[in-house]
């Protein structure tokens, strides 16, 4: 067997071995969080009850709730929830920064980000929505085959590129999962382009506990992950206050630009529950 073919087959086998646990974990979280149909939360054609309203001239009489009307002493209509299909576009940061893990966390930021993104994709797929990987150039799709393919494509995604819109349909939702520890101007340009497309946008920032509180002491060497950089702190505890202030200021910048553009902003720390993070995000991203 030629050496190139051998290498490709070996890489594919390693990736294949790693994917099932990732997908299974995401599916398990989605099962826990799943609370019912993911509709658009407004009156329209659908099977889920939405709200009562007064009868108006021209309304179909078969939708009158006669029992409720008798109790209320007025004619009431049953409106169902409009469950039009939506499309979820997902982007998960795979840059070198995401490989960081400190002692309290059992997994890297990258692992958490991938599981969170795939769990949200699983919820969308269960609601019969289409899901696609933003920037991949591939169409969004639905069905049981989509989640394993998304997991595989995440391992192949370029690690240092912010996403670009591609084939975004109306009624689409965008979910960006990252630590967002990047230049604010670069991030703002990307978010502005996405916002101009008219899509609903959601940001989920994933951080390690050590990135927030800098728990180290004494002499510490800091090595750059995205770029070749090295800094030696003789007494790292003397930097803690300034570092924490700068870190929180950066987070507030990201949160602020998200709000100005009409995007939501959620947080997850890698020493916290993945299920709780998905539940919180599902409540935000769910029916508007």
> Each residue of 98-126: pLDDT tens digit?
998 988 778 999 999 999 999 999 999 98
pLDDT at 110: 93
List 173's β-bridge partners, or say none.
88, 200
- For the four alpha carbons of 160, 284, 206 and 241, in that order, the dihedral sign comes to positive
- For residue 168, give every residue at least 6 positions away whose Cβ sits within 8 Å of its Cβ, in sequence order, or none: 87, 89, 174, 197, 199
Buried b (16+ CB within 10 A) or exposed e, 258-268: beeeebbbbeb
pLDDT at 276: 92
Round to whole Å and give the CA distance between 223 and 59. 68
Which ranges of the chain have pLDDT less than 70? Answer: 1-19, 35-51, 57-59, 79-85, 158-160, 165-171, 218-235, 286-288
Helix (H, G, I), strand (E, B) or coil at 142: coil
Round to whole Å and give the CA distance between 173 and 190. 15
Distances (CA, A) of 20 to 15, 67, 106, 147: 9, 51, 19, 10
Query: What dihedral do alpha carbons 92, 96, 101, 106 form, nearest 10°?
Result: 50
pLDDT at 257: 95
pLDDT at 179: 95
Burial of 57 (0-12, 13-18, 19+ CB in 10 A): exposed
All domains of the chain in start order, with CATH: 3-38+85-285 (3.40.50), 49-80 (no CATH)
The number of angstroms, rounded, from the C-alpha of 47 to the middle of its chain's C-alpha atoms is 27
pLDDT at 167: 57
- For the four alpha carbons of 45, 48, 50 and 52, in that order, the dihedral sign comes to positive
pLDDT at 33: 85
Which of 251, 85, 79, 82 shows the shortest CA–CA distance to 178?
251
Neighbours of 7 (CB within 10 A): 11
The number of angstroms, rounded, from the C-alpha of 202 to the middle of its chain's C-alpha atoms is 7
Which tokens in the block code for residue 91?
Answer: 């982007």
Which of 121, 133, 211, 202 shows the shortest CA–CA distance to 165?
133
Round to whole Å and give the CA distance between 90 and 149. 13
């Amino acid at each position: 067997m030629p050496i190139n073919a051998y290498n490709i087959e070996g890489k594919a086998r390693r990736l294949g071995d790693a994917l099932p646990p990732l997908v299974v974990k995401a599916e398990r979280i989605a099962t826990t969080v799943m609370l019912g149909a993911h509709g658009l939360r407004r009156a329209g054609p659908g099977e889920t009850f939405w709200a009562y309203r007064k009868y108006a001239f021209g309304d179909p009489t078969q939708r009158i709730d006669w029992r409720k009307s008798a109790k209320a002493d007025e004619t009431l209509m049953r409106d169902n929830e409009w469950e039009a299909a939506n499309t979820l576009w997902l982007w998960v940061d795979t840059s070198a920064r995401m490989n960081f893990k400190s002692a309290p966390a059992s997994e890297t930021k990258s692992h958490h980000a991938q599981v969170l993104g795939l769990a949200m994709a699983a919820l969308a797929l269960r609601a019969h929505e289409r899901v696609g990987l933003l920037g991949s150039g591939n169409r969004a799709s639905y069905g049981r085959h989509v989640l394993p393919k998304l997991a595989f494509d995440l391992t192949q995604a370029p690690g240092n590129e912010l996403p670009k819109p591609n084939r975004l349909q109306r009624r689409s939702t965008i979910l960006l999962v990252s630590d967002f520890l990047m230049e604010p101007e670069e991030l703002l340009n990307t978010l502005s382009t996405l916002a101009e497309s008219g899509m609903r946008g959601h940001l989920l920032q994933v951080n390690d506990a050590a990135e927030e509180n800098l728990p180290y002491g004494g002499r510490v060497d800091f090595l750059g992950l995205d770029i070749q950089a090295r800094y030696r702190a003789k007494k790292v505890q003397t930097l803690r206050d300034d570092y924490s202030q700068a870190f929180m200021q950066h987070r507030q910048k990201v949160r602020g630009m998200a709000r100005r553009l009409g995007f939501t902003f959620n947080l997850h720390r890698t020493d916290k529950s993945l299920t709780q993070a998905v539940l919180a995000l599902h409540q935000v991203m769910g029916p508007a």
